Structure 1
Amino acid sequence: MSTTRNTRLPRPAILVALVTAAIALIGVGTALASTPAAQAFRDQPLVPGTPCTVTARACVDLDSKQSWLFDAGKVVNGPVPVATGGPGKETPIGHSLRVYRKEQLHHSGEYTATNGEPAPMPWSVFFQDGGIAFHEGRTDTPSAGCVRLTKDHAVAWFNHLQIGDQVQVVSGKQVQAERGAPPA
């Protein structure tokens, strides 16, 4: 006669574990949603037709895969199609990112082209730690986290954005849900 041992947790233990995990996740989400930058973002009016605020000089909507340039709270270019990060290499959301470097002929120190040389990233405008930038590239495939634009648009973003300018990378759907605003 064989005996089997029941290794399942009792139902109350499973329920307690699930509730504890849910509370922890809600607390983390609330903490992230209430950062000073996120609160400042919610306090500012949106640029009409976009999911970003009047304080930004550039806007990226990760949901619609579009970007805009602003001047004094008005759209001066866009929406234009962009490629953003794919699974595991998502473009990070940020409400008060700042342009910290521009490099017209940058080559990646992390990624290589098919010929084995460092991948070209022309017209790079860096705005996020980890080398995240606007730059020229294909817009029909996911990036490794950067925001890729066609050549003409990359040149326009490079010329318009200056060191210190604010960049906002957002989920347009999330902004719409939080503000009850119409979709961009």
Structure 2
Amino acid sequence: MTGAAAAITMAACSGGTSANVQPVAAESTPSSSAATTTSPAATTTTTPPSTSTSTAPPSTSTTTKKPATTTQKPPAAAKPAANPAVPCAVTDGACVDISAKKAWLLSGGKVVYGPVPITTGRKGYPTPTGTFHVLSKEKMHLSKEFDNAPMPNSVFFYPGDAFHTGSLSAPSHGCVHLSSAASLKFFNTLSVGDPVQVVP
């Protein structure tokens, strides 16, 4: 290190004054045309600029801030809330409201089909109420109990009781009658094990 560089470094690191810098600058030999130009302002500098390389450059991202996200995902184990548009607590499967004579299909707490009109059990043959699960499905069930009466698109949720195509004006023997189109939708949508809730 030359005497001039040592003096500047020493002044910068030790917080020295211009008295430490001037004599060395006066004794040094210029090495370029820029160094030969003498300026009174340069010789009267009281504190040389810092030459430290350990200082990080100022951040340029302080003026732009990414907006915070407020959307939160529900926990993986959390179940969807019951839909307030239906009278059932189940969030998947089927919901039947006997007094309103309506039925719905649900998935993830949302109505995916319905309400559709239904008829249910007549006096002496009530449709069971409660929460059940689909037991079996049969595309064309023939009722042995009622003279081989056809029950298209049968989805059984209780022993002897099913969703199926039937009259929407005459009460059933406990089954939930649907229109032909609705029974097909229930048959194609519901799987064995899916919940079925029937409310009075």
Query: What TM bracket, shorter-length normalisation?
Result: 0.5 to 0.7
Aligned pair 1:71/2:101, yes or no? no
Q: 2:182 aligns with which of 143, 146, 153?
A: 153
Counterpart residue number, 1:126 = 156
Which of the two has greater helix per residue? 1
Q: CA RMSD in A?
A: 1.3
Question: Which entry has the higher C-alpha Rg, 1 or 2?
Answer: 2
Gapped regions of structure 1 (runs ≥ 5): 1-43, 113-117, 172-184
Counterpart residue number, 1:115 = none
Which of the two has greater strand per residue? 1
Higher relative contact order (CA 8 A, sep 6+): 1
Count of residue pairs brought into register by the alignment? 121
Aligned pair 1:46/2:46, yes or no? no
Q: Please give the secondary structure, in 1, of the residue aligned with 2:182.
A: helix
Q: Please give the secondary structure, in 2, of the residue aligned with 1:148.
A: strand
Quote the sequence identity (%): 50
1:73-118 deviation digits (Å, cap 9, x = unpaired): 10011110001001010101012x0001000011001002xxxxx1
Distance 2:81 2:110 in 1: 12
Judge conservation of contact 2:90–2:195 (CA < 8 Å) in 1.
Answer: no
Counterpart residue number, 2:138 = 103
Letter in 1 for 2:124: G
Q: Please give the secondary structure, in 2, of the residue aligned with 1:104.
A: strand
Superposed counterparts of 1:12-23, under 5 Å: none
Gapped regions of structure 2 (runs ≥ 5): 1-79
TM-score normalised to the size of structure 1? 0.63
What's the offset of the Cα at 1:56? Answer: 3.7
